[in-house]
Structure 1
Amino acid sequence: MKQPISLFANYSPKFLVSDFNILKVEDFFNDVGKDTLNKNQKVDFYTIFLVTEDIGRHTIDYKDYYYSKGTVLAIRKDQFQRFHINKNVKGYLLFFNEEFLNRFLNDEEVSSTLQMFNELLASPKTQLEKKEFEKALKIIKEIEDENSRLSDSYSLKIIRSSLHILITLIHRVKTKGINKVQLTNYLKEFIKFQNLLEKEFNNSKKVNFYSEKLGFSSKKLNSIVNYVANKSAKSFIDDVIIIKAKKDLLHSSLSVKEIAYKLGFKDPTNFFKYFKKNTSFTPESYKKRYKK
């Protein structure tokens, strides 16, 4: 889509002003055409999808996630998502840009908050237990009430504070019982690496290229990535490249050769070998099996 944000932003002008909005899922399903929702949509904002009633399915980056009451789906910006409409499903959709949080939180808090949406670190799906669900739903209803009025300059500040609490609550559930990422310099440096990789992936796939640009050794970069993502820096780079390759194979009209060049492979044969090594599929066989 040329303007992917239109799926949600044009639904309400408020988003264009405040970088935030909240919708009831049932209203959204009724108001937006089935043909639109049933297609893969790429959106450039963050989405929280909380289910309050019934069951269903939601596709994120071509992977299906089945949900029920108490399920939270955290969808990062620039991911593809597809709605499978069930008119009986009820819940809430909250969507926002990082700019919305930047006006309230410091850089470190924003970075930590957005890790909940990082599909390379954890599943987009979180299942809340009864007490956690009740807490989350109470916060969301308070946000909904404040957003419906936006009565003064304090409204958005209150919404930002409530959203931060909601995300922190979900993040705590997601990381419960797991020795996960904490607010440390490693996290901050990992995010810098991930952002740099998103910009430079087609220029280099070598660890030392990124460590030099970040100003430290390859050994240190490996330690950072291993601490945060539990894998080597090279494995993380490969994961990002493969995700981008899969998206292009399934969603674009580009040939395999064109995708290879887009991803920075000078010889398409090298892309063929790289993709097969990391997925056990050839690019063509993967496309044939999963493209619908």
Structure 2
Amino acid sequence: MYQITNQLHKIGFSIDLISNIIRRNNFQKKFNTKQFFCILLVAKDIDLIISGIQYEIKGGNAVFIGPMKDVEFGDAYGKEIYVIVFSADFYDKSMKDSVFMNSQVFFNSRSDVFISPYFGNNKYNEVILVERLLKFQSKDESLYISAAHNAIEGLILDAYLHVDEHHTEADERLEYVSFVNRFRVLLQRDFKTAKKVLHYSQELKISSRRLTEMCEYVYGKSAKQIIIEKIKIECEKAIKFSNFTMSEIAYDLGFNDEGNFSNFVKKHTGKKPSEMREISA
């Protein structure tokens, strides 16, 4: 299991050179994006293998990779390649954000990646973006978060200029991706109050079985598994990075009482909430 930085756990965003990420993980080059969205700023040519398919990425491109993708970096070590990683929680603050995040840029029925020229292949812009974020990071966390959100939006908007160059097909696969993306948006909104598949299938006006079939096709996981993973992640974040009591966390995340919350955490993480907080202290 590779290491995820404390910053990514805490605020849901990080930016780093791929060399640092590889070195931090004992020079391992294989990763899974898990629940995160990734943007690679590629200054030099590299080879990537994503979900078993090899891509030759030319320098000057941005690469957009959605959640639950297996990624293997080829000759990336030592090259100037920045990796921006963020969670849905971090970016999804408005309806516009949801549209961007669940668009063809990150979800495409024909490809596991979206590649577009990075700001017109302008090296200067990459330096400005990275240096600007690092300055905010050292100054103020709230400003850093705001600057990071704006940076992501700018990159996605730039990619949107090239969406028409990627032809999509109006077939069953695209329909599945569309429904599952909408399910994820609803889950982000309702996970504290709705923990049953039925709620989301009713919102989408399809059967629970149909929603599960679509989730299994797109992610290889059932709708129930995706809900559990979302709640588990939120529980872990609250335990490790908040100062709330366990009762307060349980209440905030929609559990009936602290006992049900503790049982859920123990069942799905293998640790009691108190043990998890001790480890992070």
Name the structure 2 match of 1:149: 138
2:36 is equivalent to residue 84 of structure 1: no
- Which letter maps to 2:19? E
1:131 partner SS: coil
Instruction: Give CA-to-partner distance per residue, 1:185-231, whole Å, 9 cap, x none.
Output: xx9877426779xxxxxxxxxxxx9x98456599xxxxxxxxxxxxx
TM superposition shift of 1:178: 6.1
Superposition pairs of residues 90-239 of structure 1, within 5 angstroms: 90-102=80-92, 105-115=93-103, 116-120=105-109, 122-128=111-117, 131-134=120-123, 137=126, 140-151=129-140, 153-176=142-165, 191-192=181-182, 213-214=202-203
TM-score, length of structure 2 as denominator length:
0.56
TM superposition shift of 1:67: 1.3
2:15 is equivalent to residue 22 of structure 1: yes
When the two chains are superposed, the root-mean-square deviation of aligned CA atoms in Å is 4.1
TM superposition shift of 1:42: 4.8
Contact 1:57–1:66 (CA<8 Å) still a contact in 2? yes
Name the structure 2 match of 1:52: 43
Q: Evaluate the alpha carbon distance shift between residue 136 and residue 169 of structure 1 in structure 2; reply closer, same or farther with a 3 A threshold.
A: farther
Out of 52, 71, 92, which is 2:61 matched to?
Answer: 71
Superposition pairs of residues 249-268 of structure 1, within 5 angstroms: none
Contact 1:76–1:118 (CA<8 Å) still a contact in 2? yes
- Aligned pairs, how many? 201
Structure 1: unaligned runs, 5 residues or longer: 182-186, 197-208, 219-233, 246-292
Distance 1:239 1:19 in 2: 23
Q: Percent identity?
A: 13
Distance 1:139 1:18 in 2: 22
Distance 2:76 2:169 in 1: 35
- Which letter maps to 2:36? F
TM-score, length of structure 1 as denominator length:
0.54
Distance 1:77 1:179 in 2: 19
Contact 1:29–1:85 (CA<8 Å) still a contact in 2? no
Structure 2: unaligned runs, 5 residues or longer: 171-176, 187-197, 222-281
Distance 1:158 1:129 in 2: 18
- Which letter maps to 1:244? G
2:68 partner SS: coil
TM superposition shift of 1:131: 2.5
